[in-house]
Amino acid sequence: MPIPKATAVLATNVVVFTIRDERLVALLVRRPRDPYAGLWSLPGGLVGDEEGLEDCAVRTLRDQTGVQGLYLEQLYTFGSPDRDPRTRVVTVAHFALLPPARLKGELADECNTRRWAPVDALPALAFDHDRIVAMAHQRLAAKLEYSTIGFQLMGERFTLSELQQVHEIILGETLDKRNFRKRVRSLHCIEETGDWYRAGNHRPARLYRLKQPGAVEFIK
């Protein structure tokens, strides 16, 4: 029987998803230090002394990438003894959703230390971060089907076509426009703003908003 020890190095990581160039992408940062110096990895870091796990996820994400104010939930805790070559590090993985409308300015920029990578074409990642991204994607796709989590990828105001496209990209399949709209309507969780989105030489689209912006509910 192994002899327990009391402590482990404890960290959090966050998979930030958004849609970019019609693909589901995750935010990666370049590791500045060994192990895996120079490799891409998920934002994250060590949990502070008096810090909650979700607080740590939010803080490290903000400090490393400037991103904040996102929907975020705990995903799974990864703790294989050998997942870090130095010493035992256990990470509490989270995922977060960034509405693509917020991909402006700094956030949209990619640089040598930060990039958006399509989840189906990731570069080599440090540690087991590829597994974390895969599980997060799987969880997100599953929750699209039985919760209203998809709206957390929408900006304050959005069109139904935008919403549908986001669903299609995450699920990796096309959806029928009329059936999709019927389903969304039946949720009763959005309302018309009365405004219209105009873009290009075509009919404008109604803009909607969430009735309860933060709320994610189970459906069916």
- If binding is defined by CB under 7 A, does position 187 make contact with DNA? no
Q: Which residue of 20, 23, 30, 88 would you call a contact of a copy of itself, by CB under 8 A?
A: 88
What amino acid is encoded at 89 in this protein? Answer: V
CB of 84 to a copy of itself, least distance (A): 12
Contacts with a copy of itself by CB under 8 A: the residue count is 34
10 vs 42, beta carbon nearer a copy of itself = 10
Residue span binding a copy of itself (CB under 8 A) among the ranges 20-28, 30-38, 80-88, 117-125: 80-88
Contacts with DNA by CB under 7 A: the residue count is 19
- With CB under 5 to 8 Å by kind, the binding choice for 201 among a copy of itself, DNA, none is DNA
- If binding is defined by CB under 8 A, does position 210 make contact with a copy of itself? no
The whole-angstrom separation of Cα 216 and Cα 97 is: 12
**Which residue's structure tokens are 């590791």?**
31
Beta strands across the sheet bearing 23-30: 40-41, 23-30, 114-118
The whole-angstrom separation of Cα 169 and Cα 182 is: 19
134 vs 169, beta carbon nearer DNA = 169
CB of 137 to a copy of itself, least distance (A): 15
- Tokens (6 digits) for 160: 């139904």
The whole-angstrom separation of Cα 141 and Cα 170 is: 6
- With CB under 5 to 8 Å by kind, the binding choice for 59 among a copy of itself, DNA, none is a copy of itself
Residues 130-169 that bind a copy of itself (CB under 8 A): 142, 146
**Which residue's structure tokens are 């089907």?**
145
Q: Which residue of 101, 206, 209, 210 would you call a contact of DNA, by CB under 7 A?
A: 206
The whole-angstrom separation of Cα 146 and Cα 168 is: 15
- Tokens (6 digits) for 98: 């960034």
90 vs 205, beta carbon nearer a copy of itself = 90
The whole-angstrom separation of Cα 137 and Cα 170 is: 8
DSSP assignments along 24-41, one per residue: EEEEEEE--SSSSTTSEE
User: Is residue 41 within 8 Å of residue 11, measured between CB atoms?
Assistant: no
Residues at the site binding a copy of itself, with contacts judged by CB under 8 A: 1-10, 45-53, 56, 59, 63, 74, 76-77, 79-81, 88, 90, 92, 142, 146, 218
**Applying CB under 7 A, which residues contact DNA?**
159-161, 176-179, 181-183, 198, 200-206, 220
